[in-house]
Chain A
Amino acid sequence: MTKTRCTDQVILDLWHPLAALAEVRAGVVVDTVLLEERLSLAIDGKGSAAVWRDRADLAEGSLVDVAAVDGKLPVKLAYGYIWTSLGNPPADLFPIPEFDEPDRRKLNAATVGVNVSAPRAIENFLDMGHFPYVHTDILGAEPHTEVKEYDVEISVDRDEILATRCRFFQPMASTTSTEGADVDYIYRVPHPYCSVLYKSSPVDESRLDVIAVFLQPVDQEHVRAHMMLCILDEENEDKVIKRFQQTIFGQDKPILENQFPKRLPLDPRAETPIRADKSAIAYRRWLSQKGVTYGVIPAAT
């Protein structure tokens, strides 16, 4: 097997997202970077895709017959994205059953380059405490700043973190909101660099909108953040839904890029958590237990 710059076998063996299928032209080579390795990808528009290590005879923008590419890396098409692995990936990616519900809107809100480590970005995604200050009048507003007690568990059989019973007052929880409301949240971290959140749908109180962030680690301190939406909204055009999500992500971006140190410290004494950080503590512990070293500062042993 080719030697990789990343030596973290846990991370090498994962599936990683590379691009939104809707944004790739069939039969045309696209270049990207994953774990410091230059890769190329292409789709045929009929359900097949190929990912391979960048090479001179298949330059970006050139036409390619997907079936004829040799030396392919593992590939998976899931949740509207093309995924690959630089190691030995599991047969399946984590499940998001809601993705198969036919009445949901599914789209990539955007893929954005962020100068942050993947674990720092996941932690921010899990954090409710910043809503009133960073997403003022959208996902939060003073004086509703309290993060109420919620539950966190590390599910052993599913190997994922689950935060439940989260509740937060939101002035404008989604594009379909008409007024402020107490919004229920569930967070899942089923992959070291991916998180899926479920939040009350303003249009159907029995169902939840699904918003996921799939991080493509470019290197230890840079990601391409792919934002997947799988939501209930029959009113708004795609671009209105995307704009809402991009507005929120654009507010997070400078916060993410100013985190210091850039890599996530896993030593429990490195940073002082508060009660609201329960899910972040579980996440750090989970990464430690897995032995993840890429994008983090491992705890001293």
Chain B
Amino acid sequence: MITLYDYELSGNCYKLRLLMGMLGVDWTTVPIDFYPGREHKSEWFLKINPLGQLPVIEDDGLVLRDAQAILVYLASKYDAVGTWYPRDNPALLGEIGQWLAFADGITGTASAARLHDALFYDFDVEAARAGAHRLFRILDEHLWFGEQEGRDWICSASHPTIADIACFPYIMLSEEGGVPRQDYPAIRRWCDRVKRIKGFTVMSGVFPAGPAKAA
């Protein structure tokens, strides 16, 4: 069984819980006292991940770090239908890779602002918020044009991919870092669509969507 080294309030850990829930995969949790204990910087944990970061998984002897890398692995191994990370579609894989990197940018900005406000990290919060708004504007425009073409998801496919999962958590938690989503209506609609994917689960700070309005 998959072992997830997990912190409940981490959006990067939530990405994996979210995808595993949607894929119907079981896992066991090793809770890490990220805050206030800083267990991810402890000697024993640094042996598992020298970067001192969450999440990490262990599966069949494989130890893997980095939320985006783990999403690629989980979808490649456990998605029987092969839609979350379609290995036979090079163009789509390229797009997914592009937005996985974008998700890292969201972590570096929106998540950083949240860590500053909630857990007192010594970051330049104004720079982090400005950076998050810049990325949100780009994504909102991308999603808006997609909607005009009948596309519901970040990448050019009729179904969600791991790019949606990678971008979702820290967008959803952005208000905790003082980054409101009021000006991004296409992002808000997309968030509701993600929340309605079968198998969707919440984390602290993320609430479920109501039922979709009947067309």
Contacts and interface: CB of A to CB of B under 8 A. Distances in A.
Q: Do A and B come from one complex?
A: yes
Interface of A: 20, 23, 108, 110-115, 224, 238-240, 242-243, 246-251, 253-254, 257-258
Contacts of A238: 33, 37
A246 B9 contact: yes
B176 A257 contact: yes
A65 B35 CA distance: 28
A242 B35 CA distance: 9
27 contacts: A110-B35, A110-B36, A113-B117, A113-B118, A113-B120, A115-B117, A224-B120, A239-B32, A239-B33, A239-B37, A240-B31, A242-B33, A243-B7, A243-B31, A246-B9, A246-B204, A247-B9, A248-B204, A249-B204, A250-B204, A251-B204, A253-B176, A253-B205, A254-B176, A254-B205, A257-B175, A257-B176
A23 B36 contact: yes
B79 interface: no
B5 to A, nearest CB: 12
B9 A250 contact: yes
Q: How large is the interface on B (under 10, 10 to 19, 20 to 34, 35 or more residues)?
A: 20 to 34
Given A254-B175, A254-B176, 18 more contacts: A23-B36, A110-B35, A111-B36, A113-B119, A238-B37, A239-B32, A239-B33, A242-B33, A242-B36, A243-B31, A246-B8, A247-B8, A247-B204, A248-B204, A249-B204, A250-B8, A253-B176, A254-B207
A181 B7 CA distance: 27
Nearest to A107: B36
Contact of A253 (B33, B118, B178): B118
Nearest to B172: A254
A188 to B, nearest CB: 25
A257 to B, nearest CB: 7
Contacts of B175: 254, 257-258
A184 to B, nearest CB: 25
Contact of A239 (B39, B119, B176, B207): B39
A40 to B, nearest CB: 15
A251 B205 contact: yes
A111 B37 CA distance: 11
A112 B119 contact: yes
Contacts of B37: 238-239, 242
Nearest to B116: A113
Interface in B31-54: 31-33, 35-37, 39
Contacts of A246: 8-9, 35, 204
Contacts of A239: 31-33, 37, 39
A243 B205 contact: no
Contacts of B8: 243, 246-247, 250
A113 B207 CA distance: 20
A223 B176 CA distance: 13
Contacts of B35: 110, 246
Q: Which of B9, B33, B37, B118 has the most CB of A within 10 A?
A: B118
Contacts of B118: 112-114, 253
B7 to A, nearest CB: 8
A110 B38 CA distance: 12
A79 to B, nearest CB: 16
B44 to A, nearest CB: 13
A254 B176 CA distance: 7
Given A246-B8, A247-B204, A253-B118, A115 B178 contact: yes
Contacts of B33: 238-239, 242-243
A279 B117 CA distance: 30
A31 B203 CA distance: 31
Contacts of A108: 36
Nearest to B35: A110
Nearest to A242: B33
Contact of A20 (B36, B117, B178): B36
